[in-house]
Structure 1
Amino acid sequence: MSQKTYNEQWGQAQRELSCLLTDETPDEPPPPELDRVVFFKRVARFYVRYIQVFRQLDKAYDLLVHPQKREVLREILDGVMGRLLELKKDMVEAEFSEFHYMDDIVQTLKLTPTDLQLPIPHYFITEHSKERTDILQDIALVKAIETIQAVERARQARMKAKLKKMSKVVNGDGDDENDDEKKVDMIEVSAALRIQKLWRGYVQRKIIAQESILTSQEAKMDLHIIISQANDACTRIKQQEYMEDYHNSIASITKEVKDLGPDMSNTMKDRIRQWFLKCRHAAGIFPEYPDDIHGGGALILVDKDPLQVMKEIAAQKEEDKNNKLKGKDEKKGKQKDGKKGKVKEEGLRMQNSAFLSDLQEANKQFKEFWETCDESNNFHQRHLAQIIRDEKKKIFDAEIQLEVDEQMRLELAAMKLAVDNIKGGKAKGKKGKKGGGKGKKGKQVVDLTADRTLESLCQELVEQNLLKATADISLSEYTGNYSYLGAILRENAIEPTPALLDVRQLLTLYAVLPLGSRAVHQKGPLITSILLVGPAGIGKKMLVQAVCNETQAALFDLSPMNTAGKYPGDDGLNMMLHMVFKVAKLLQPSVIWIGDAEKMFYKKVPKHEEELTPKRLATSLPKYLKLIKGDDRVLILGTAEDPICANIRALCKTFGKILFIPRPDYGARFILWKELIKRYNGEVTEAIDFSSLAKMSEGYTPGLMIQVIQQVVTKRRIRWQGFRPLTTAEFVAHIVAIDPAYKKKEDALKKWYGKTPLGKKKIAFEKKKAKEEEGNEPKK
């Protein structure tokens, strides 16, 4: 598609965003909503509309080449992502649940369930830190070289042993009776090896010939895909070229504007001195210099009557005094109300947003400039130099204005003293504490590795298997279905079972977007730790790998089984955690994975695990979690299969978000069988009854399904698919042989989840609601 198309997409998304901002910020804020259902639907409607804007903006930003438009669009994109997180927080507090069902809203807005899926911006991968990648690649290269060297040494040793044995046979060092037999055996072995070599070569060439033959339709499809990918690659190369040209232009224009600084400063000073004299002539005294808060010297440089400016300055000072007095009165009033025990107004309100003001400013910039900008002469979508010049001029004007104001205040004080004999007041500043008074000292973290480089720390963590490479897995590979009737079930007081795609959606929102965008992580709701709870084989580790791959995050492994025996003692433990968190912050975004997280908080450690000391991280880890701030894109991602055996209070204190992943239902299993068979090179034909497979595999997790598929779809079976397609019967025998994840265990996990903070709130709310409904029923 052309650049004109992407510009139109941006314009369309911007118009929808403008309507959204108008609806979200009315002239009069709505009163608190007492009905939680009504409040949730209002917030959910905004949430769904923001997702549609997000999808359009992501498409436009991905392939636009104009560098200045991309800057504005990036700011809007980050603002929309942050706003989605804020709305999600409001929805969680309204329903006391992490999973929400909006099928009624989707139907009203004439959308499909796929329209609710959050896209992952492409720039998360393209704009990650090159320095971090180089360090990890160098370490991986060193490790690979060491492995190759070890393998080569072993090969050389085997060859030497073989040659030594051959020389003994040739020189007759062996037994005379067995020499002839050994020679005959060697000839037979070499002949057999030669025949095997020829036959395997023939078979392999035949397989390659079969795989290389494509139908004409598939060839055309592949050609279209290749052309599309090539066009996208060319566009991204152009983006980099234009961005480099843009930065070079910024540097040259900045130097150009800086050179004009002295002349601008002298001009401002001359105009301000003339204003001093005019005021002295008109009022008989020198005026007061305006404060920086009210504009400073910029207020003087406006073409106004000197007396009028003096009146404005006096009025502003009077207004400031009144505001201070009013603020004190309001504070006293609040304190009195608090002492009287005044009850707060009940009801639900949308929380204050940190992103709405940024979105409004960016939307205003789009309307005022980009929407009406004439680009008929900018066919190649290069940057506009005049915009850079205007922006830099404003910045340098403000800097020069501050310097001039400081100098002219001193000059005005000297003029007052010399002409009117008025001494200037003491400069208002922050009163320093005498003797360096005792302030609140925050706990300073001692850097235990101040004398070490980042490369050496990474090298040590790799050697200890604490810093790992991530697998090439995308979140889209975590397949499943949607909850189509969730809203209807909740209306009828039935709690629906979350779908696998709901889990994927949550992880995209809570993990991928904050890790990928610095602005979202800094200003959005801070999420430092997430725990994934679910039966074995449900895909928890796969989700961890996918989050790292989608955001190009560094992966650290602090699982109890991985840290066992490493860095012994308290000092060793502190050193290990210090190194991991220090490197994680330097290589951000980073994910610190804790597999089998429940073992850290065992109520009673099993005897066979006592030597591993799985609880050694339980007390130290929460302390390091508190050190993660908004600027640190570091996420603790835990996985747990049996959290019932853990101390729930300590577990919930460590992990701020707990996401329960249930077994896939019939619809999810139907989709999973198809997708997984294709993924393992199986051909999907009418000979496979997926409905029967989905029914027979009730209670099966994706991991168990993969086990069955791997046993059936072997390399040999793949070769014979063209002659004998895969059938349902081939999978049945293996399905019966594997035990599923029983519902009894899942019910126990659900019951455990009801003891978490969010689960307790939901149960308490449901009990309260039931009591209210009983009280409203007419008595017989």
Structure 2
Amino acid sequence: MSHTTYNLLWAEAQTVLDEATKIDVEQQSAKPTKDRDYARRIVGTLYLQYIRAVNMLDQCYDQIAQPQKRMLIRKLLDASIGRMLELKHELVNIDLSEYSYFDDVMVERQILPQEAEIRVPTYFRREREKEIKERRQTIDRIMRELGFYEDDATGIIMTEMKATRLIQTHERARQGRLRAQFMKEIRSLKDKIKAEPKEEELEEGARKAALKIQKIWRGYITRRKIRKRVVEEMLLIGMLPGAYTSVAERTRAEEVKEDRRRLQEVRQAEYESALVTIRDDIKKHRGPAMMEEMGDEVRAWFMGYKGQTGKFPDLPTEEAGGSALIFSRQGQAESERSKSTAPSSKESKRGGKGKKSVKEKEEVKKRPEDEEDLGFKMSGSAFLADLMVAGADYEEKWKNLDESKNPAQNYYDDMIRKDKTAEVEAELRKIVDEQLRAELEALQAALDRDRARKGKKAKKAAKKKGRRGGKKGKKKKEKDLTPDRTTESLFEELVTNGIIKKYPEVSITSFVGERSYANHELRVKGHDPPPSLGDIRQVILEYCIMPLGSPQVHKNSPIVRSVLIAGPQGSGKRLLINAICTETGATLFDLSPANIVGKYPGKSGLVMLLHLVSKVSRLLQPSVIYIDTAEKTFMKKVPKTDKTDPKRLKKDLAKLIKGIGPEDQVIVIGTTRLPWECDQKLLQQAYHKMILIPRPDYASLSLLWTEQLFQYAGLSRQFNTSSLARLADGYTVGSILAAIKDVLTCKRVLQLRMHQLTHAEIINVLCKREPVYKEEEEEFLTWFTKTPIGRRKQKALEMEAEKIKELESAQP
């Protein structure tokens, strides 16, 4: 894709943002509404629009090479992510559920389900790739020194060529053994060995044999062509999944992307160099003239002020803005004067409205605490102003810019000069103000001598007031138990004790599952359907990955300090933890009861452990604090067989979570498969969000079987995965993946072309594993209805049922 293509994509994203911000601003000033369906449609529309903008802006930021464009796109991208997360929390309050469905809005806006799913921004990891790699290498080095890895320092130095030949030799031998075994099995399948025919029979049947061979061969060739044509047609219309064997096009596309990313680095380096060069040039050649102009301007104001009042004014302090504050005040005064010249009739109308609003406010204050009766009102946003400012910047600078003369996407010199001129002017103004303060002091002293007055006391009193005000903002700092330790030593200690762990790198897309396509209609009919695996993936993105990946977003968006992921064994809880860490490049701290047993013993040791985790997690943010079997921390009665002291963090876990602030890219994530076996009140105090992973539905199972099986080249594209999805109902994703791994061994994969896979092979292995029984599923659902969001939902459903009964009873 070319530079023009990404410019057009940016323009499309900006159009979506302009539409969304326009609706957003209108809703900020709109009156509260009691119609929840209307509120859901408005907020849902904005939510989907911001998701579309985020996905498009991410592509632009990843591939556009011009550095000044990328700076503005980054602001738009962060602000869009933050606003999207704010709207997500609004939707939770409207739907009383962590999951929202917008089928009606998507049909109305013609938005595809794929467009409504968030993609993880590439800059979360790409801009920290070197840091993440070095951190993983450090963990490997420490683990190797501790003896957890095999010692590969044999003292033998092997060249790359020798190593390649050794690998080739062993690989060819392995393939030869497999091929020999394969051919042996084929020969054993032959039931008969045809006896050699006699010469007389050969002569008589030579012509018939030739005709027969010709007939069979032509039929085979024709059938193969027809099958190929049918498969190509089905692939074209999307009725069959595509083959995963050819990766040449994907490789080429990735190479093009990497080339553009390398160009980004070159253009960024040129831009940063130009910032310094142009700034120095402006300061050298235009600096003296600028200082003289500013000095003359302020001196003129001094003399004018003295002519009107008979005394010299006080120059504002540097903290207040210096002499720049004087002219900004003059601008404000002029704007106020222009407003005051409006017709008196309009003033009276405005005054009437103002009085009415005061009365309305007084009435609201007099009302009892019935805020819920007012209905839904869109709350304020910390990102909307940034979106509007960045949008105006785009309209002013980039929308109509002709870039035909800049095909190489170099930086624009005039834009840098404009920004640096303002920066140099602000810097020189401070110097000018210091000189003017000295002049003003001398003039004032001369004026005081003439009038025999002294004005030093007032100045001293003003200074004292400033000093007193500066002492009020001080806060007590937390006591640092390791003030003399470096971050590297603390990191090494936690790795040595197994608190910081290395995790396998997996993408969030590895958590395979379809989005719900029928839940919207079920909710309209009054039902409360469970989410699908695709909905779980979306919520994990919104609560864990998107806020954790960007410090700007995390600081201003609604904070989620802790999340509890509950689900049966094999449902993918640990996969989600690894995916969160991978997508954000986070450091993983394992505070599971089984992992901290025997480490940092005693009360003082526990205090030190929590201090180290709290301190290092902030130094190496983003960080994920992981707690497996989270229910054990709050168990009412510990079994005698459990020797792990699971209640060790019972009192301190809530304090650790509460100490996470908006500026800390840290999140606590717990996993459990028995959430009902503990004190629910303490569990809910510790974990602010609770996510239940249900058993996979038919759509998710069908997608899972399709993606997992069709990655093997020898498998027929017409293999029926729908029947497997029906037969596997009730089994978790982990059980299905394990069954596929057991069946499709290396030997079986080599036999796929000659001996196609059957459903019985997989089902026979799958049946040996435990499914999720109905009793266990009901226990999970019962527990979830007792969570805070579950109780709110049940209460709302009961109130709606009561209203329906009242309406029915009121009818004659």
Task: Tell whether the structures are fold-level matches, with TM greater than 0.5.
Answer: yes
SS at match of 1:113: coil
Structure 2 partner of 1:165: none
Indicate yes or no: 2:303 matched with 1:269: no
Structure 1: distance between partners of 2:129 and 2:748: 44
Go from structure 1 to structure 2 and tell me whether the alpha carbon gap of 1:199 and 1:771 turns closer, same or farther (over 3 Å shift).
Answer: closer
1:713 aligned to which of 727, 744, 747? 744
Confirm whether residue 464 of structure 1 aligns to residue 493 of structure 2.
no
Deviation of 1:279 (Å): 4.6
What corresponds to 2:544 in structure 1?
511
Residue of structure 2 in register with 1:187 after alignment: none
- 1:543 and 2:576 are equivalent in the alignment: yes
Equivalence for 2:310: 285
- Give 1:577's match in structure 2, choosing from 594, 597, 610: 610
Identify if the C-alpha distance between structure 1 residues 138 and 295 changes in structure 2 by more than 3 Å, giving closer, same or farther.
Answer: closer
Q: Which residue of 1 aligns with 2:772?
A: 741
Change (3 A) 1:738 1:251: same
Contact 2:243–2:717, Cα closer than 8 Å, also in 1: no
Matches within 5 A, 1:28-43: 29-43=29-43
- Matches of 2:296 and 2:475, distance apart in 1: 48
Question: How many angstroms apart in 2 are the aligned matches of 1:350 and 1:435?
Answer: 37
1:634 pairs with 661, 666, 671, which one?
Answer: 666
Alignment: residue pair count? 717
Q: Sequence identity, in percent?
A: 35
**Does 2:418 match 1:393?**
no
Deviation, 1:342, is 7.3
CA-CA distance at 1:336 after TM superposition: 11
Query: What's the CA shift for 1:667?
Result: 1.9
- Alignment root-mean-square deviation, CA: 3.7
Partner of 2:394: 366
Give the TM-score taking structure 1 as reference length. 0.84
TM-score scaled by structure 2?
Answer: 0.81
Q: 1:202 is matched with which residue?
A: 176
Q: 2:794 aligns with which of 751, 757, 763?
A: 763
Counterpart check, 1:567 vs 2:595: no
Moved more, 416-425 or 61-70: 416-425
Cα distance, 1:338–1:433 mapped onto 2, change above 3 Å:
farther
- Give the direction of change, closer, same or farther, for the CA distance of 1:402–1:432 in structure 2 (3 Å limit): closer
Is the 1:32–1:348 Cα contact (8 Å) retained in structure 2?
Answer: yes
Give the match for residue 18 of structure 1.
18
Question: Secondary structure of the equivalent of 2:114?
Answer: helix
Aligned-residue offset at 1:13: 1.2
Q: CA 1:583 to 1:205, structure 2 compared with 1: closer, same or farther past 3 Å?
A: farther
C-alpha deviations, 1:112-166, integer Å up to 9, x for none? Answer: 211111011111111016345424313313434665985569999xxxxxxxxxx
CA contact (8 A) 1:279 1:285 kept: yes
Deviations 1:328-363 (A, max 9, x none): xx9999899758857657111111000000000000
The one-letter amino acid paired with 2:18 is: S
Distance 1:688 1:98 in 2: 36
CA displacement at 1:656 relative to structure 2: 1.1
> Are 2:408 and 1:375 aligned?
no
Amino acid at match of 2:595: N
Instruction: Write the distance in 2 (CA, Å) between the matches of 1:19 and 1:434.
Output: 49
Aligned twin of 1:128? 128
Q: What's the CA shift for 1:555?
A: 1.3
| 1:103 maps to 2:103 | yes
What do the CA deviations read for 1:617-650 (whole angstroms, capped 9, x no partner)? 1211221222221221111111111100011111
Instruction: Give deviations 1:235-268, integer Å, cap 9, x for gaps.
Output: 1111111111211222223333444556533442
How far is the alpha carbon of 1:395 from its aligned partner? 2.5
Q: Go from structure 1 to structure 2 and tell me whether the alpha carbon gap of 1:693 and 1:131 turns closer, same or farther (over 3 Å shift).
A: closer
Are the counterparts in 2 of residues 687 and 726 from structure 1 also a CA contact under 8 Å?
no
Q: 1:275·1:300 contact (CA, 8 Å) conserved in 2? A: no
Mapped to 2, the partners of 1:219 and 1:627 lie a distance apart of 48
Q: d(CA) in 2 for partners of 1:733 and 1:41? A: 47
The 5-angstrom pairing of residues 303-314 of structure 1 reads none
**What secondary structure, in the 3-state scheme, does the structure 2 residue paired with 1:645 have?**
coil
| Aligned residues of 1:512 and 1:550 also touching (Cα < 8 A) | yes
Alignment CA distance shift 1:659-1:309 (3 Å): closer
- Looking at structure 1, the residues matched to 331 and 716 of structure 2 have their Cα atoms a distance apart, in angstroms, of 85
Distance 1:294 1:601, change over 3 A: closer
Which one of the candidate residues 233, 256, 279 is aligned to 1:231?
256
Q: 1:223 to 1:668 in 2, by over 3 A?
A: closer
Residue deviations 1:13-68 (CA, integer Å, cap 9, x gap): 11221122112213982110111121111100111111122222112111000001
Q: Check 1:483–1:140 CA distance in 2 against 1; reply closer, same or farther (3 A cut).
A: same
Question: SS in structure 1 opposite 2:641?
Answer: helix
- Which residue of 627, 647, 661 corresponds with 1:615? 647
Listed as ranges, the gaps of 5+ residues in structure 1 are 157-195, 209-214, 319-326
| Alignment CA distance shift 1:271-1:101 (3 Å) | closer
Instruction: Return the alpha-carbon distance in structure 2 between the equivalents of residues 743 and 256 of structure 1.
Output: 76
Residue 675 (1) aligns with residue 707 (2): yes
Query: Which residue of structure 2 aligns with residue 697 of structure 1?
Result: 728
| TM superposition shift of 1:714 | 1.8
The alignment status of 1:650 with 2:682, answered yes or no, reads yes
* Letter of the structure 1 residue corresponding to residue 294 of structure 2: M
Determine if contact 2:27/2:378 at 8 Å carries over to the other structure: no
> Aligned partners of 2:429, 2:32: CA distance in 1, in Å?
45
SS of equivalent residue, structure 2 residue 57: helix
2:482 aligned with 1:446:
no
CA distance in 1, matches of 2:644, 2:438: 71
How far, CA to CA, are the matches of 2:662 and 2:469 in structure 1?
34
- SS, match of residue 593 in structure 1: strand
Whether 2:529 is the aligned partner of 1:501: answer no
Q: Secondary structure at the residue paired with 1:644? A: coil
Deviates most, 427-436 or 385-394 = 427-436
Letter in 2 for 1:470: Y
